[in-house]
A and B are shown apart, each in its own frame.
Chain A
Amino acid sequence: MEKKDKDQLKSPMDRRDFLRTCSAFVAGGVAVASGGLLAAKASAKEGEVFWQIDPYKCTQCGRCETDCVLTVSAVKCFHANKVCGYCDLCGGYYRPNVKELNTAAENMMCPTGAITREFVEEPYFEYTIDEDLCTGCGKCVKGCTSFGNGSLFLQIDQEKCQQCNECAIARVCPSDAIQRVSNAHAYKLKDHA
C-alpha cells in the first residue's frame, strides 16, 4: 500500500527537466518577442510620423509656449547659422528700444536668457540657443523675422515631444503651421532647405 502511494506521487518529469524546459520556453519567448519588437520598430521607423512646425508658416503667436501638454513646451528656438547675419544689432537678441547695446538683462529679448552670443569681430557676433532654457515663446523669432534674415525659427524637439495623437498646439495654431511629417522630415531646418 505504501509502495503504491509512492508510485502515484512520483512526477513524470523530474525537477531538473522541468526547469530546463521552462527556461527553454522563456528564452524562446523572449527571443521571439524581442525580434518581433525590433522588427515592428524598424518597420515603424519608416512610416512613423512626427509633429513639426513649418517655419515659413509660423507667425510666432506665442501659443507654442502655452498650449503644449508638457510643463515646459517641446517647442524650441532653432538657429540657422548659415542664414544668420551675425548682426550686432539683432532684433531677436535685443528688446525694442533698448538704450544700450550690451548684455544686461533689461536689454534682452529672451525672457529666460536662452540666447547667448560671442564677439567674433567688429561688428559680428555668433548666436547660440540654450535649448534647456528655451520655453518656445517665439519672441526672438518674431524679432529676427521682422527685420533680420529669419535665422531664428521654432521647431518641435522630437526628443521631448510626446507625439500626442492630437497635438494640443496644432489644434490652436492660427496659421496651421504644425503638421504631421515623416521621419525623413522630422525637422524643417532653414539652413538645410
Chain B
Amino acid sequence: MNKKKLTYITIGVIVFYTCLLIGWHLYDPSTSFTELQPGADHRPAGHIRKADDVLIGEFFMKETSNQPSSQLTGEWPCFRGINHNNQTSKSSTMKWVEGDFEEIWEVETGEGHAAPVISEGRVYVLDYDEQLSSDALRCFDLLTGQQLWRRWYRVPMKRNHGFSRTIPAISNGLVVTIGPEGHVMCCDKLTGDMKWSIDMKKRFGTEIPFWYTGQCPLIDHDQLVLAPAGKDTLMVGVDVKTGKTLWGTPNTINFKMSHSSVIPMTLGGTQTYVYIGVGGVCGVSAEEANRGQLLWSANKWQPSVVAPSPTQISQNQVFLVAGYGAGGALLQVDKSGTSWNASIKDSYKANEGMSSEQQTPINYQGTLITILPKDGGGMRERLAMYRPTNLHNPIWTSAADERFGLGPYIIIDDRLFAFKEDGELYVYQLNTDSMKLLKKQRVMDEGVDAWGPMAYADGMLIVRDSKTIKCLKIAEDNTAKR
C-alpha cells in the first residue's frame, strides 16, 4: 500500500469518527419528552394552592362501616379525664385482669405524642400523616381498633420530636382538636362532619412554640376555652356549637403560648381558668357573671419552656412545674374583697424538690405524685410522692431501676399505671403515703418516646409510643359477656 493511499484512509477514518462524535453531541434525545410543569391538571387560576394555605378539615374519608361494634358507654373525653385530674374509676362490676394484660388491638400512627380520648365506644386521636403532611383526626372502634372515619387537612411542617402533640376534647356530640400549628377543628363526633374551625395564628396572632402547640382544648359550660396568648388576646371563649367567639381576655400581661393547657379550678371560691404561659401564670374568671375577666397573674416564676399544666393542691394553692432546669413553684392566690393577689410562695430548682419535665403531676388524696425530671439529681426519672406541705422531700420514690423518663401515668381506682418511655407498663397499688409495685409488663417491643398520656374507659387502657397506639384489656366485666 503506498503512502498516499494510507494517508487518505487515515484522514477518512478521523473525519468519520469526528462527525460521529459531533453528531452524538448534537443529537437531542429529549425531543420526545414531555415536561411536567405546574398547571397540567388545568386547575383554575383562582384555585391555585400555596404552600401555607391551610383549609382546616378539608378532607374526609369514612370506612365501609362507621359504626362501632359495641354499645360501650365509658368516657375519657379530654386531657386528664372528666375531672381534669387524671384519675378515674372502673365500673363496680369490673375486676382487674390477673396476669398479663391482653393486647386487644394496635394501630400505626405518624410519629408523635398525641394521645386519644374515648367516648361511646369510639377512640379519637389527632394524628399527623407525614406522607400527606397533614393533621388527621382519626376515629377508631374502641373494641376492635377498626378505623371508622378520618378527617384531615394539609399542614406542611418539619419533624421536631415527632409531629402530633395534643389530645382532643369531646362535648355536646362534638369533638374539638388543636393541631401542632394551632389549627382548631370541630367535627361531629359520630359522623365526622365538619362544623367550624379557627386558625389561632391568623385570628389571634399566636406565636407557635418551638416544639409546636401542646395545648389541649378545654370545653367548659358548652364553651371551648382557648389560650392563644397572641398579640391582643390572652384567652378566648368560643361557643362550641357554632364556633362564635363569646368572650376574650385582652393580653395585657403579654404572655406567649406555652406547651401547657388551661385547667379549670375553683380558687378562693371562684371558678377560674388557670394557665401557665411563657411569661408567668394567670387566672381568668370562669364565673358566668364575668367570664373572661383576668383576675390575677404572677410573673415571678416564668420558665421559658413549660409543658406540664398547673395542679391544684388546696382551695388557694396551685403547684407549678416545668422542665429544663426550671423546677417547681408553689403559687398562692388570695382574694380580698374584689381584688386578687397571686404570689409565688416557694420556688426551687429541679434537683431541690418535686418537679416534672413533661407530665402534669396528680393530686391523689392529699399527696402529689410525679415523675422527677432528668435533671432531678439522684432520683431523676423516678416515680415520687410528696406531701403538699413539703415539696422538697419525697415521702416515697420508686426503686432505683424503676425510672420512667418522660412517660405518662394515670390513676384508676387505687392503682397507678405508669408507662415507661420505652414501652413497659408498671402497675402500683396506691396507699396514702407509698406505692407497692404489683406487676410490670412489656407492651412495646423496643418502644420509643412513649410520652403521650394514657386513656381509660370500659376496662381498656390505651397507651402509645411515638409510632404505635395499643389497647390493653386491664379490667373485665364480672357480670356480662359482650
Contact = CB atoms under 8 A, between A and B. Distances in A.
Most buried by A among B59, B61, B132, B136: B132
Given A85-B61, A148-B61, A103 B41 contact: yes
B227 to A, nearest CB: 30
Given A104-B37, A119-B41, A98 B61 contact: no
22 contacts: A87-B59, A89-B59, A91-B132, A97-B133, A99-B156, A100-B50, A101-B49, A101-B154, A102-B38, A102-B41, A103-B38, A105-B35, A105-B36, A105-B37, A108-B36, A113-B34, A116-B40, A116-B41, A119-B44, A119-B47, A122-B47, A125-B43
B482 interface: no
Interface in B259-275: none
A149 B59 CA distance: 12
Contact of B133 (A98, A123, A125): A98
Nearest to A85: B61
Interface string A77-114: 00000000101110100101111111111001000010
B39 interface: yes
A102 B133 contact: no
Given A96-B131, A97-B133, A97-B156, A102 B34 contact: no
Given A99-B156, A100-B51, A123-B58, A89 B41 contact: no
B61 A149 contact: yes
The SS class assigned to the B binding surface is: loop
Contacts of B43: 102, 119, 125
Contact of B131 (A91, A102, A116, A117): A91
Interface residues of B, number: 29
A97 B39 contact: no
A104 B36 contact: yes
* Shortest Cβ-Cβ A-B pairs, 9 listed: A105-B36, A102-B38, A103-B40, A101-B49, A96-B131, A117-B41, A119-B43, A99-B51, A104-B38
Contacts of A94: 132
Nearest to A117: B41
Interface in B144-164: 154, 156
B6 interface: no
B25 interface: no
A154 B40 CA distance: 25
Given A87-B59, A147-B132, A102 B49 contact: yes
Interface string B37-76: 1111111100111110001001101000000000000000
B129 interface: yes
Contacts of A113: 34, 36
B424 interface: no
Contacts of B132: 89, 91, 94, 96, 147
A148 B130 CA distance: 14
Nearest to B159: A97
Interface of B: 34-44, 47-51, 55, 58-59, 61, 129-134, 136, 154, 156
Contact of A103 (B37, B61, B133): B37
A96 B133 CA distance: 7
A118 interface: yes
A101 B136 CA distance: 18
Contacts of A99: 51, 156
A162 interface: no
A138 interface: no
Contacts of B61: 85, 148-149
A147 B35 contact: no
A87 B134 CA distance: 13
A172 B35 CA distance: 35
Contacts of B130: 96-97
Contacts of A125: 41, 43
B154 A89 contact: yes
A122 to B, nearest CB: 5
A148 B152 CA distance: 11
A143 interface: yes
Nearest to B136: A147
Most buried by B among A89, A104, A118, A123: A89
A146 interface: yes
A84 to B, nearest CB: 11
A94 B156 CA distance: 13
Contacts of A123: 47, 55, 58
A44 to B, nearest CB: 38
B59 A102 contact: no
A118 B156 CA distance: 24
A11 to B, nearest CB: 63
Given A102-B49, A125-B41, 12 more contacts: A96-B131, A96-B133, A97-B130, A97-B133, A99-B51, A100-B51, A102-B41, A103-B37, A113-B34, A119-B43, A123-B55, A123-B58
Nearest to B131: A96
Nearest to A146: B131
A125 B43 CA distance: 9
Given A87-B59, A122-B47, A102 B39 contact: yes
Contacts of A87: 59
B58 A102 contact: no
Contacts of A104: 36-38
Nearest to A123: B58
Interface in A48-91: 85, 87-89, 91
Contact of A119 (B35, B42, B55, B59): B42
B47 to A, nearest CB: 5
B34 A118 contact: no
Nearest to B55: A123
